[in-house]
Amino acid sequence: LPWRLTSIISSIRNTNFSLIEWPVLGVLPGLLWNAWTDNLHGAADRTLKETGGTFVFKGPWFANMDFIASSDPLNAHHIFSKSYAKYRKGQDFKAIFEFLGEGIFNVDGEAWKFQRQLLHSILNNEELQNHMTTTLKLKMETTLFPVLDARAGAEVDMQEVAKMFMFDNICLWVLGFDPGYLSVDGRSETFPYDKAFEEIFEAVIYRHIVPRGVWEFQKRFGIGSEKKISHSTKVLDEFIYNAIRIKKQEMQKEEQGQQLDMLTQLSTDKFLRDIAFTLISAGRDTLSSTLSLLLWLVATHPDVERKILGEIERVIGTSRFLICKDDLNVLVYLHAAIYETLRLYPPLPFEHRCATEADVLPSGHKVHKGMRMLFSMYSMGRMEETWEKDCMDFKPERWISYEGNIIHVPSQKFMTFLTGPRTCLGKAMSFMLLKFMVSSILWNYKFEMVEGHVVKSTPSMVLSMKDGLKMRVSKRNV
Ligand code: HEM
């Protein structure tokens, strides 16, 4: 064990990971787990910086675990755009993310094309977007603001509030009903969905760092994180299937016993479940993660807060909320602050692909067929080569041109929403919703960090704060 420990530590420090003697059944996964869990994405970032942006990880020959990790923009362009056909999600991705079923994140080829077209038209529908801002405003007025009023002066975990608030909203938009998770009475212990998502997203990281055979073995016998993932998937499935059943019954009633619409007829409950699960996971965590990280960054950068408030004042005037969607276009500094948050803290910190054939990356690294590619967006947002010497500073100004417009950064350099044909379909919508929420929240409430609270990240597929975001909230005199 001491020899292995030394070799593991030196491998982690060295530029090339070559772990030939991998004690597959537990020892190394456990060590790596402990070494990395404190700041997994930070550890990956440090290693990528030391290796010039790309390294090869060699697992034992029998475990099929070799992968290339990279944060190099040229490699990003190659993998996600130029040679896109050579890099697919692949069978490993599908197995790791099996809870997404046949949803868009998990499929390639024709199935992906079909869902992309379908979701593109749904997410860009103006009527739906207007409905979303209307319900969001209503939810802020009737739930979020009363919750913040009730807790004024007390310690509030704003990450938890953001998660509950986004979960209610996303269910309203995707499933058509509001589960009422966030309420003035506080968190309901009988509401297991938040925990279920968290357990799944943490277990996904585990599935990335242990050989497939190991977690499949654990899954078969219901051991450790695999037990949690199967329980959590069941909990969420029950919730979504139930919502689909109620929705279908309502539609049937509305149609007075006639046939349901074509899509509902064509779609099986399983297909609707996969799409709903995908949209809820795509929207809930990315938006709540950005919202809480932005609140934290604003609270710890008073100059940024002052500038955001100055800009909002010019648009909102004496009301509590933005009046119309067009007002959002004027909020350039807030737009830049959101970009800056997403650069330093991408809600989805890494991406995963599988090579369908042998290839050579622009960085010179050889790729063999079936090899996994892990791409760190977290590290990419912190590269001096792209973001200059002050890359670690939170500075929304870097996104604003001399003329006062948002500077366009090519997506292979700012990859928070990915680049290439599989770019996020919810980017424009996310900016709209975030600007609408953040402007109203910051205009009405002031947030200060609770003394001594340290913000740390969890080892999860979605960037999230380990001990929450403890803040003190007070009402502003608008
Ligand atoms: C700050 C917010 C968001 C960020 C940072 C973000 C980021 C991403 C990333 C990195 C991907 C690529 C994932 C992959 O290929 O594995 C993606 C894909 C996607 N996103 Fe987002 N997302 C955000 C919000 C949303 C929202 C609100 C929706 C809609 C409800 C959405 C819908 C989608 C869809 C449907 C895809 C799949 C695209 C495809 O595979 O062709 N996203 N997003």
Alpha carbon nearest to ligand 1 atom 11, residue: 424
Confidence of residue 93 (pLDDT cuts 50, 70, 90): confident
Which residue would you say has higher pLDDT here, 23 or 450? 450
Q: Which of 452, 438, 148 lies closest to 294, judged by CA? A: 438
Confidence of residue 61 (pLDDT cuts 50, 70, 90): low
Give the number of the atom of ligand 1 that is nearest the alpha carbon of residue 418: 10
R_g over Cα of the chain: 23
E strand spans, 148-191? 155-157
Alpha carbon nearest to ligand 1 atom 7, residue: 417
Helices 158-174/193-209 angle, 10° precision: 100
pLDDT of residue 250: 82
Residue 73 has pLDDT above 80, yes or no: yes
Q: Phi and psi dihedrals of 23, rounded to 5?
A: -75, 90
Centre of ligand 1 to C-alpha 303, Å, is 31
Mean local confidence (pLDDT), 274-292: 92
The answer, yes or no, to whether any atom of ligand 1 lies below 6 A from the CB of 204, is no
pLDDT of residue 6: 44
Which residue would you say has higher pLDDT here, 388 or 208? 388
415 within 8 A of 74, measured Cβ to Cβ? no
Least confident window among 64-68, 212-216, 259-263, 411-415: 259-263
pLDDT of residue 60: 66
Confidence of residue 255 (pLDDT cuts 50, 70, 90): low
The answer, yes or no, to whether any atom of ligand 1 lies below 6 A from the CB of 417, is yes
Measured distance CA(331)–CA(322) in Å, rounded: 11
pTM: 0.88
Interior/surface letters 404-432, b for 16+ CB within 10 angstroms, e for the rest: eeeeeeebbbbbbbbbbebebbbeebbbb
State pLDDT tens for residues 302-345: 999 999 999 998 888 777 776 677 788 889 999 999 999 999 99
Measured distance CA(359)–CA(419) in Å, rounded: 20
Residue 4 has pLDDT above 90, yes or no: no
Average pLDDT, the chain: 85
Which residue would you say has higher pLDDT here, 256 or 120? 120
The interface predicted TM-score (ipTM) is 0.98
The answer, yes or no, to whether any atom of ligand 1 lies below 6 A from the CB of 136, is no
Centre of ligand 1 to C-alpha 423, Å, is 7
Measured distance CA(271)–CA(103) in Å, rounded: 8
Centre of ligand 1 to C-alpha 364, Å, is 30
Residue 424 is labelled as binding a ligand: yes
State pLDDT tens for residues 20-31: 333 343 444 544
Instruction: Name the fold adopted by 2-475.
Output: Cytochrome p450 (1.10.630)
Measured distance CA(367)–CA(236) in Å, rounded: 37
Centre of ligand 1 to C-alpha 64, Å, is 28
Residue 266 has pLDDT above 90, yes or no: no
Q: Among residues of the chain, what percentage have pLDDT more than 70?
A: 86
